A and B are shown apart, each in its own frame.
Chain A
Amino acid sequence: MNKYAVFLGCTAPTQVIQYELSSRWVCNQLGIELVDIDDFVCCGINLVNLSQEAGLLLAAMNLANAEARGLDILTICAACAGHLAEAVERLKNPETRDKVNNKLKTMELEYKGSTQVKHISRVLYEDVGIDEIKRKIKRDLSNLRVAPHYGCHYLKPESAFEGFDDPDNPKTLHQLISATGALPVQYETLNLCCGGKSFPITKELASSLVQKKLDNLKNKKIDGLVVQCQTCYLMYNDRQKAIGEQFKLPYDIPVLLYPQLLGLALAGDPKKDLGLDLNAIPLNNLLAKVGINGKI
Chain B
Amino acid sequence: MRQHKSKGETIEVAELDTDFKSEVMKHEEAQGLNACFACGTCTAGCPVHEIFPEYSPRKLAKMVKLGMRKEVLRSSYIWYCVTCHNCEQRCPQNVKFFNILNVLKNMAAKEGYAPSPWVEQTQQIMQTGLIFPLDEALAKRRESFSLPALRSNGKKAKILIGLAGLDKIKAKRQR
Contacts and interface: CB of A to CB of B under 8 A. Distances in A.
B164 A14 contact: no
B57 to A, nearest CB: 14
A24 to B, nearest CB: 8
A195 B50 CA distance: 12
B138 A14 contact: yes
Nearest to B119: A50
B76 to A, nearest CB: 8
B82 interface: yes
A158 interface: yes
B132 A51 contact: no
Contacts of B156: 39, 41, 61, 107
- Residue among A13, A15, A50 with max Cβ neighbours from chain B (10 Å): A50
A33 B46 CA distance: 39
B85 A54 contact: no
A192 interface: yes
Interface stretch (B1-9, B16-24, B66-74, B110-118): B110-118
Contacts of B48: 198, 205
B11 interface: no
Contact of A50 (B52, B82, B89, B166): B166
Given A11-B131, A46-B131, A202-B80, A36 B148 contact: yes
Which range holds the interface residue count of chain B?
35 or more
A201 B51 contact: no
Contact of B147 (A13, A51, A196, A198): A13
B93 interface: no
B166 A103 contact: no
Contact of A193 (B84, B106, B109, B169): B84
Contact of B89 (A13, A14, A158, A209): A158
B34 interface: no
Interface majority SS (helix, strand, loop, mixed), chain B: helix
B80 to A, nearest CB: 6
Interface string B135-175: 00010011001011011010011011101111001000000
Given A52-B29, A57-B163, A209-B82, A42 B131 contact: yes
Interface string A231-250: 00000000000000000000
Interface of B: 28-29, 47-48, 51-52, 79-86, 88-89, 98-99, 102-103, 105-106, 109, 114-115, 117-119, 121-122, 125, 129-132, 134, 138, 141-142, 145, 147-148, 150-151, 153, 156-157, 159-161, 163-166, 169
Interface of A: 10-11, 13-15, 17, 20-21, 24, 36, 38-42, 45-54, 57-58, 61, 79, 82, 96, 103-104, 106-107, 152-153, 156-158, 167-168, 192-193, 195-198, 200-202, 205-206, 208-209, 275
